[in-house]
Amino acid sequence: MSGEAAQRYDVAVIGAGMAGMAAALFAAERGLSCIQIGSGGGILFASALLDLLAVHPVAEHRLWQSPFDALAALAREQPGHPLARVDAASIRTAFETFVAALNSAGLAYAPLGERNSHVITSIGTVKSSYGVPLTMVAAVQALQQRLPCLLVDFRGLREFSARQIVETLAGDWPDLRHQRIDFPGFEAVPELYAAHLARALEDRETRERTIALIQPLLGDARVVGVPALLGLGRSSEVHAAFEAGLGVGVFEIPTMPTSVPGLRLLGALEAAVSARGVTRRQRSSVRTLTLDGSTATLELEGLTGGECIKARAVVLATGRFSGRGLTADRQSVRESILGLPVQQPATREGWHERDFLDPAGHAINRAGVVTDDAWRPLAASGKPAWENLYAIGSILAEQDWMREKCGSGLAIATAWAVVDVIAGSDPQSRMSGKPGG
């Protein structure tokens, strides 16, 4: 550890997934000085669709057209669910703020409304989601009206098959067909990767050659679907060029992880939080976290000599098992940094149901940290572990975000709620607003 004085912040966010990014973004927007610790690599597996709530109850697999109607039902029937603890008005504002930040960073989303939208997945299923990137929006109308549609893929792109999608959906969509073409300049390459093609399409000549190959295949198609590879940092420009060149609506279909939409989302979030003054430690992790009085001390590792951070509030956005916010052995599940109690079945036998595909899911999927009404994790005594320690996102107990289709909603809503608590807790005690203050 170096001998330099500790840098001081209002908020230290541990984690850089969706919840951590949202918390850092919202903290900066509220004028709080913020440091974010961790890598956002998990976002690379995202489709860039922002789910709010699509399925409730899980056991019935009931799909909701309105995520807000679903939230109201959730609040009545599962009041302990984290999403049920955030009011609908705050969730709307949180999503609007989050999407506005993505738009300002160059990742454009369709206007948010009252309903979930239906989009096509890479395996030919139909997914309900709330926030949809503009490059995918044309799929919504195409699905609703079953418009004559051409799906195009590229020879050598093994992670995406237009034919598979058509064969899965054809029974309910007779005017859906597919074509496979060579990607210009990659004809002799046996295996293609979406990220490479996305970069190539930011070149005008490659883009025009690709459009020229698709144009004769249109027939009566009123909309064209392609794998999600219409540019990386310039997806709006590339998408607009395809629509103008083909003269029909064009939509992207998310590919298998890690995906181009995930790369775009991570890049946009990193740009958004950096533009708002968030200090980021992407290659660091928390070695120790000491909570003393009104200040937390975080010893970081991963940098030469280490680093010491002091903050008046700490937000755990470390996720579950994949994010290493929770770890498990043969006996129990533990919170990884402070050893906080985790709500879980009493014995290992209770983790899973006998049926692997049980429609209600498994109890282990609802394990997590329990908090009080202010989102402060509870210690073994049943009292908050520390006055200014908070938990958000998928580390929280009593939710099964994968089956409920609410991952982004859980992250964004709880991040908003926690930052609201922090910003309103004691404004006069804020530090200078700048590192080193």
Given a contact cutoff of 8 angstroms between Cβ atoms, the answer to whether 396 and 368 are in contact is yes
What is the model's pTM?
A: 0.93
Q: What is the pLDDT at residue 429?
A: 40
- Whether residues 190 and 307 fall in one domain: no
Last residue of a domain, one of 232, 253, 274: 253
User: In the structure, what pLDDT confidence band is assigned to residue 356 with cuts at 50, 70 and 90?
Assistant: confident
Please tell me the predicted confidence (pLDDT) of residue 276. 97
Kindly report, residue by residue over 251-302, the tens digit of the pLDDT: 999 988 889 999 999 999 999 999 999 999 998 999 999 998 889 999 999 8
Work out how many domains the chain is built from and give that number.
Answer: 2
Q: Are residues 148 and 246 in the same domain?
A: yes
Angle at 234 between CA 228 and CA 238, to 5 degrees: 60
Cα separation values, 392 from 246, 324, 382, 387, 427, Å: 44, 14, 18, 15, 21
The confidence score (pLDDT) of residue 365 equals 87
End residue of a domain, out of 201, 223, 253: 253
Angle CA 73–78–84, to nearest 5:
70
CA–CA gap between residue 249 and residue 435 (Å, rounded): 48
User: Which CATH number goes with the domain that contains 150?
Assistant: 3.40.50.1860
Let me know if residue 2 belongs to a domain: no
Tell me the per-residue pLDDT of 67-112, one tens digit each, with 9 for 90 and over.
999 999 999 999 999 999 999 999 999 999 999 999 999 999 999 9
CB 105 within 8 A of CB 275: yes
pLDDT of residue 369: 96
Question: Domain check: are 126 and 232 in the same one?
Answer: yes
What domain range is 344 assigned to?
7-104+264-429
pLDDT in tens, 108-154: 999 999 999 999 999 999 999 999 999 999 999 999 999 999 999 99
Phi, psi of 348 (to 5 degrees): -60, -30
The helix (H) or strand (E) run that includes residue 403 is helix 401-404
Query: Do residues 256 and 159 lie in contact, with contact meaning Cβ atoms separated by under 8 Å?
Result: yes
**CATH of residue 331:** 3.50.50.60
Residue 396 belongs to a domain: yes
292/318 same-domain check = yes
* Nearest residue to 215 via CA among 241, 192, 189, 193: 241
Per the prediction, the chain carries an average pLDDT of 92
For the record, the structure tokens of 109 come out as 């989303």
Could you tell me if 246 and 362 lie in one domain? no
